[in-house]
């Protein structure tokens, strides 16, 4: 039977996999060195699509200096995470995503063929081009930034991709595009990768649904956290079907803070994480947090912490 463009593309990327730079580099962690994968693809690329076909391979325990999202296209494999004794199995149609610097070792079961499609992002590109559009999800926001400030942070995302989700279709589109590169491939991959990440965020939210808070005030705080870049008191009143004055009174009575104070606290917490964990400019951070310009952000930050953003991180 004639092979499809998808199967030919998968085969092509499988053949290219070994030509990528999977050299282990020594990386200091505390008082010892561990192994590190640096960016394995071409220097001029910021997004890399790879297909790993394996049977019975045990990797060395290692870290990465990039973000990776691995989708099990066929088969299953095990991953040992940071503490060496924490082993999980990633099955077909499941996603395993890792932070930069978080360690793991991949072990493919030796009794079956396994195909993994990987979407890799340079750290700087991910922070600058994709994180701003994912920051509304507070769980993912902390996951993506924790590695920069805490080497013992939660190390991976792992969940099943639902059958009605188009993540698999987006991955297949990226595989075909990357296997037949043109001068504009990176430009074409960017919107596909963004759609992929937005779907990952949706699936993550679905897989990690928290039971609704009992108190209205707690539900409001959660809503503020998820929309801290653009939420207003009027938005909250409309969302929860109460008058703005009632919302203000409720927050003061039960939490001892106004809406503005809660919103400011949420923004300043994120500001510190972004300042410490990324190389984003002050203006980029200000816009991500919902400030119209960097001057307003500077003023709010200084009033909250007593120092300027630059002074805070030095």
Give the DSSP per-residue string, 167-189. HHHHHHHHHHHHHT--TTHHHHH
The β-bridge relationship of strands 77-80 and 105-108 is antiparallel
SS3 161: coil
Give the DSSP per-residue string, 219-231. HHHHHHHHTTTT-
Contact 100, 64 (CB under 8 A): yes
φ/ψ (deg, to 5) at 139 = -65, -50
SS3 82: coil
Contact 137, 117 (CB under 8 A): no
- Rounded-to-integer distance, Cα 1 and Cα 29, Å: 51
- Rounded-to-integer distance, Cα 61 and Cα 258, Å: 48
* CA nearest to 291, candidates 311, 262, 271: 271
- Rounded-to-integer distance, Cα 144 and Cα 123, Å: 10
Residues of the chain with pLDDT under 50: 148-154
The β-bridge relationship of strands 87-90 and 77-80 is antiparallel
pLDDT 10s digits, 123-177: 999 988 998 878 777 777 777 876 544 444 446 788 888 877 899 999 999 999 9
- Rounded-to-integer distance, Cα 289 and Cα 300, Å: 12
Beta pairing partners, 35: 26, 62
Tell me how far apart the 2 most distant CA atoms of the chain are, in Å: 71
* CA nearest to 52, candidates 84, 22, 81: 22
Write down the pLDDT at residue 135: 74
Distances (CA, A) of 302 to 148, 282, 287: 23, 13, 17
Side by side, which strands form the sheet with 47-54? 47-54, 114-122, 66-74, 94-98, 156-160
- Rounded-to-integer distance, Cα 228 and Cα 220, Å: 11
Handedness of CA 69, 70, 71, 76 (dihedral sign): negative
Write down the pLDDT at residue 265: 94
Q: How many residues comprise the chain?
A: 314
Kind plus residue range of the DSSP H or E element containing 35: strand 32-37
Write down the pLDDT at residue 29: 72
> DSSP assignment, residue 109?
-
Q: What domains can be seen in the chain, in order of their start residue?
A: 5-207 (2.60.120.810), 216-313 (1.10.10.60)
SS3 115: strand
Distances (CA, A) of 118 to 71, 171, 241: 6, 9, 44
SS3 29: strand
The β-bridge relationship of strands 32-37 and 62-64 is parallel
């Amino acid at each position: 039977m004639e092979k499809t463009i998808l199967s030919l593309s998968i085969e092509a990327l499988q053949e290219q996999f070994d030509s990528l730079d999977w050299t282990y580099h020594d990386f200091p962690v505390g008082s010892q060195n561990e192994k590190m994968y640096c960016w394995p693809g071409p220097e001029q690329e910021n997004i890399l699509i790879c297909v790993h076909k394996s049977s019975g391979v045990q990797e060395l325990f290692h870290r990465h200096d990039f973000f990776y999202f691995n989708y099990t296209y066929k088969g299953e494999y095990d991953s040992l995470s940071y503490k060496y004794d924490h082993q999980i199995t990633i099955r077909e149609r499941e996603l395993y995503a890792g932070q930069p610097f978080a360690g793991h070792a991949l072990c493919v079961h030796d009794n079956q063929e396994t195909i993994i499609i990987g979407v890799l992002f340079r750290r700087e590109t991910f922070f600058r081009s994709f994180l701003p559009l994912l920051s509304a999800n507070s769980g993912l926001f902390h996951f993506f930034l924790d590695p920069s400030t805490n080497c013992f942070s939660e190390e991976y995302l792992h969940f099943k991709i639902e059958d009605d989700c188009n993540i698999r279709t987006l991955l297949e589109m990226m595989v075909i595009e990357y296997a037949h590169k043109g001068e504009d491939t990176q430009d074409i991959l960017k919107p596909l990768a963004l759609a992929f990440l937005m779907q990952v965020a949706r699936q993550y939210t679905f897989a990690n649904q928290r039971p609704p808070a009992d108190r209205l005030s707690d539900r409001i705080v959660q809503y503020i956290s998820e929309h801290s870049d653009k939420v207003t008191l009027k938005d909250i009143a409309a969302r929860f079907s109460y008058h703005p004055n009632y919302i203000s009174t409720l927050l003061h009575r039960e939490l001892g803070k106004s809406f503005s104070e809660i919103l400011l606290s949420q923004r300043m917490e994120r500001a510190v994480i972004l300042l410490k964990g990324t190389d984003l400019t002050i203006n980029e951070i200000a816009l991500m947090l919902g400030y119209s310009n960097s001057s307003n952000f500077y003023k709010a930050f200084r009033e909250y912490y007593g120092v300027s953003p630059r002074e805070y991180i030095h």
